[in-house]
Amino acid sequence: MKRSGATSPEGAPRSRGPALAAPRLLGAAFVAGLVLLWQAASLAGVLKPFYFPPPSRLALAFWELAWEGFPEGVRIGTHILITLARIGQGYLLAVGVAIPLGILIGRSSVLDRLSLPIITFARSVATLSLLPLVIVWFGVGELSKVLLIAYGCFWVMLTNVIAGVKYIDPLLIRAAQTLDTSPAGIFVRVVLPAALPRMFAGARVALGVGFMVIVGAEMIGTIQGLGALIMEARTYYRTDISVVGMVAIGLFGFGISVGLERLERVLLPWHRGLESVRR
Amino acid sequence: MTKASRWKDSSLGVVGVLGLLAVWEALTRSGAVNPVIFPPPTAAVAGALAKVPPRDLWEHVSTSLLRILWGFGVGAGLGILVGIASGWYRTLGALTQPVIDLIRPIPPLAWIPMAIIWFGLGEPSKVFVIFLGAFFPVVTNAYKGMTGVDPILLRAAQTMGLSGPRLLLQVAIPAAMPDIATGLRVGWGLSFGVLVAAELIAADAGMGFMIMHARQSGEIGVIIFGIILIGVTNLLTDYGIGEVIRRKVGRWHAT
Amino acid sequence: MAKIEIRGVTKRYESEDAAQGLAVENVSLTIEDNEFVTLVGRSGCGKTTLLNIIAGLVEPTGGEVLVNGRRVTGPGGGKGMVFQQHALFPWLTAIQNVEFGCKSRGMPPAERRGSAAQLIELVGLRGSEEKYPGELSGGMQQRVAIARALALDPEILLMDEPFGALDELTRIEMQGELLRVWSTRKKTVVFVTHSITEALMLSDRIVVLSARPGRIRQECAIDLPRPRERANPRVIALYEEIWRNLS
């Protein structure tokens, strides 16, 4: 996949600007510049710190969260762990069921056709719209949040697993057949490995969904967790804490996504080669 | 794919709903599932319509749709502009992409409290959050589409005398359309999810609000009705967008 | 007994237009042990279909194929195949690809490693064992594909335009390589191509197939010793003859 850097396709027309020596450097400098501008504007009184907490304020707020905790002494570490735990449980539950089920459905055209309407509809249900229902059935505790995350992650993962198993190059299967491989052998040694890239893609998207859902789920009925933190801070007019919470979620979401990408590169070393050749 | 089979596939979602509803109805009627916790669809719908008169219902739905149209409109519009410009002009891209990449991981919903601080409790705060939901997928895909344009196409056009803005408009953008279209579709879906969540958390009208309000009065029927209503609306609008995309892009690009 | 006997094979695919649906019509052919036979024809003349039928990957609508006197009912079982798009498993290294069939047969690891290594050496890829297909050039990929097919020591080698995706120079090189490998490990080869020159360079016998539906138009034996020269007048004469037949 083309890295979304600022590099244009090879031999791009000169009309689009001078060649950049180090686009990354430029980008980083720009970001740093913006942050400095932000800080300066706040000091100069142009940006009110309440509405746009400057980096200095954010650093202090982070410190406060790390040592004293907010609200009621809950430290940032606890918030982070609780949020991650909720996502983790929901995610693992979803993926754990989606993989075997998806493989089953993907291999059977009957099941595939039967499940398609159900899956299509279930996916169109906005996960968070289930929040009130889940609360009525299961209360405002942890279970509700985990189930909600599981719901969101499940359908995305399922669709991708099914697609991965369904759309395998038939040529590969033919090749395996000419090599005296039994149907079971073909399934384990050809179908599954060939489906892995797609399953990983699904895993990454599902994780993104998990992060999206948890923020909404935590904004109601709890004071622990990053989503709760962001929401609670507002009632105390602590915008600086809200923003720290936002940044924290963004960082973790990004970090875990990168982590998954690294994992994929380790587990599927051949896939990158394929992609770079295809370009 | 023939028109008939496309229609078939898209209406499958609705079929799924009906099928599920039928099973559900049977289960609750026969008493296998406790009808208090899990009211049968017919009772749910009837109850819902009784508790929420059609006029109110229409107000909720239209409020939601208006919000999402505004949010998506601005978000997708800006996203396309920024994405195309960033993809075409390298310097601009070098500046915008890192900033976008840094902000994108923050879920739109996390912006709600700040949005309320900035814009108050009214419409703009919701529209803003929906705007965020639409903006990022659109800008990312537009950028990817633009940077991924096959240089061969550009060179061919240049040999025919095209350059500058004409090259951009007549060759690059059309070539990037499939990715842009994907971005729009994903952005819409995301906007929808954000809309619902935003209405659950901080609103006094709209479909999300309707369900949340029903929870407080314990009216499960209304909740379920609302959930299905939202789902069906999502399906129909997604189908609509899909159709438009297919007509514009689908002929030459098999998605 | 002939190695391969193709008796009145017909293949029809479901299609609205009856003529369109007929890929191969009433083809009968005998191929002897260790013979190198090439099927030549335009694209779409059914030669690939015929090869797939011999391989047992596709069932004929009419007629049958006998190998060693017994009817072909499925793929594998001594019928190795090389495809145009190499069909190598992208998640396995070169040597793992070559070993694949041996693993399917239940050969113990040490043995199959050794056998695979020998074959990699034979096709001239020593040093590239641990590379993934995505890291190899087109020519190298096809060498791996050939090695993989040979790993099970098949009696018959079926090759479906294996060099079609390669550039001219690599193609000529690969033709030479194939002949070299074939001379070391004699097999019955059925080769499919649309290049008359390639057929002339490689085969003992050329079978020309007409366009849709595929029928045998001409057979000609080539008794020239290998390696053959493109400029050889006999070769040129045969080229003209086949060319006329195909047009």
Chain A contact partners (≥3 CB pairs within 8 A): B, C
Reported confidence tier of residue A7, pLDDT bands at 50, 70, 90: very low
Chain C contact probe: residue of A169, A173, A177, A179 with most C CBs at under 10 A: A179
Least CB-CB distance to A178: which of C80, C88, C103? C80
pLDDT at A8: 42
**Nearest residue in chain B measured CA to CA from A211:** B107
Q: What percent of chain A has pLDDT over 90?
A: 64
* Cα B86 from Cα C197, distance rounded (Å): 52
Q: Is C31:C2 a contact under the CB 8 Å cutoff? A: yes
Q: Is B29:B40 a contact under the CB 8 Å cutoff? A: yes
Give, as one character, the DSSP assignment of residue A187. Answer: I
> Is pLDDT at A223 greater than 80 in this prediction?
yes
Residues of A in contact with C159 (CB under 8 A): none
The distance in angstroms from the start CA to the end CA of chain C is: 35
**Nearest residue in chain A measured CA to CA from C103:** A181
**Nearest residue in chain A measured CA to CA from C157:** A178
Nearest CA to CA, how far is A185 from chain B (Å)? 32
Nearest CA to CA, how far is A181 from chain B (Å)? 33
Reported confidence tier of residue A277, pLDDT bands at 50, 70, 90: very low
Reported confidence tier of residue A10, pLDDT bands at 50, 70, 90: very low
Average pLDDT over residues A173-184: 94
DSSP code per residue over A58-102: HHHHHHHHHHT-TTTT--HHHHHHHHHHHHHHHHHHHHHHHHHHH
Residues of A in contact with B228 (CB under 8 A): 125
Q: Mean pLDDT check: name the lowest of A18-22, A211-215, B135-139.
A: A18-22
The encoded tokens of residue A139 equal: 């209360």
Distances (CA, A) of A224 to A69, A229, A247, B25: 11, 7, 17, 39
* Cα C207 from Cα A171, distance rounded (Å): 26
Phi and psi at residue C137, to the nearest 5°: -75, 170
> Is pLDDT at A202 greater than 80 in this prediction?
yes
Nearest CA to CA, how far is C239 from chain A (Å)? 33
- Spatial CB neighbours of A185, under 8 Å, sequence gap ≥ 6: A176, C104
* Cα B57 from Cα C144, distance rounded (Å): 66
Whose CA is closest to B211, among A248, C21, A220? A220
pLDDT at B178: 92
Q: Mean pLDDT check: name the lowest of A184-193, B31-40, B44-53, B143-152.
A: B31-40
The number of CA neighbours under 13 Å toward the Cβ of C187 is 26
> Is pLDDT at A88 greater than 80 in this prediction?
yes
pLDDT at B7: 62
A178 and C76: CB-CB below 8 Å?
Answer: yes
Q: Which region, left, alpha or beta, applies to residue A274 given φ > 0 means left and ψ of -120 to 50 means alpha?
A: alpha
A15 and B149: CB-CB below 8 Å?
Answer: no
DSSP code per residue over C118-129: HHHHHTT-TT-T
* Cα C175 from Cα A147, distance rounded (Å): 61
Distances (CA, A) of A18 to A77, B89, B99, B222, B253: 46, 10, 21, 60, 33
**Nearest residue in chain A measured CA to CA from B238:** A124
User: What average pLDDT is seen over chain A?
Assistant: 87
* CB neighbourhood size of B36 (10 A): 8
Q: Is A169:A233 a contact under the CB 8 Å cutoff? A: no
Reported confidence tier of residue B80, pLDDT bands at 50, 70, 90: very high
* Cα B221 from Cα B39, distance rounded (Å): 6
The encoded tokens of residue C110 equal: 């040490």
The encoded tokens of residue C92 equal: 């396995």
Residues of B in contact with A121 (CB under 8 A): 13-14, 16-17, 20, 231, 235
C104 and A180: CB-CB below 8 Å?
Answer: yes
* Cα A276 from Cα A211, distance rounded (Å): 30
> Is pLDDT at A183 greater than 70 in this prediction?
yes
Write out the H or E segment, with its range, that includes residue C23.
Answer: strand C22-31
Residues of A in contact with B107 (CB under 8 A): 211-212, 215, 249-250, 253
pLDDT at C16: 56
Cis peptide before C227 (omega within 30 of 0): yes
A/C interface, count of CB pairs below 8 Å:
85
Q: Mean pLDDT check: name the lowest of A16-20, A98-102, B54-58, C223-227.
A: A16-20
pLDDT tens column, A44-65:
888 888 999 999 999 999 999 9
pLDDT at A278: 35
The encoded tokens of residue A101 equal: 């089920």
Distances (CA, A) of A103 to A107, A121, A271, C36: 6, 20, 21, 43
Residues of C in contact with A272 (CB under 8 A): 134
* Residue type, position B49, single letter: L
What residues of chain B, 26 to 55, have a C-beta less than 8 Å from chain A? 37
- Provide the β-strand partners of residue C193: C40
> Is pLDDT at A4 greater than 50 in this prediction?
no
- Spell out the per-residue pLDDT of chain C, length 247, in tens: 789 999 989 888 876 555 567 888 889 999 999 999 999 988 877 888 999 999 999 999 999 999 999 999 999 888 999 998 889 999 999 999 999 999 998 899 999 999 999 999 999 999 999 999 999 999 999 999 999 999 999 999 999 999 998 999 999 999 999 999 998 888 999 999 989 999 999 999 999 998 777 888 888 898 888 888 888 899 999 999 998 888 7
B107 and A233: CB-CB below 8 Å?
Answer: no
User: Does B134 reach chain A within 8 Å, measured CB to CB?
Assistant: no
Do C and A touch, counting CB pairs below 8 Å (3 needed)?
yes
Q: Is A124:B238 a contact under the CB 8 Å cutoff? A: yes
Q: Mean pLDDT check: name the lowest of A102-116, A153-167, A237-251, B22-36.
A: B22-36
Q: Which region, left, alpha or beta, applies to residue A52 given φ > 0 means left and ψ of -120 to 50 means alpha?
A: beta
A/B interface, count of CB pairs below 8 Å:
216
A120 and B212: CB-CB below 8 Å?
Answer: no
- Burial of A255 from C-beta contacts in 10 A (0-12 / 13-18 / 19+): exposed
* Cα B158 from Cα C158, distance rounded (Å): 47
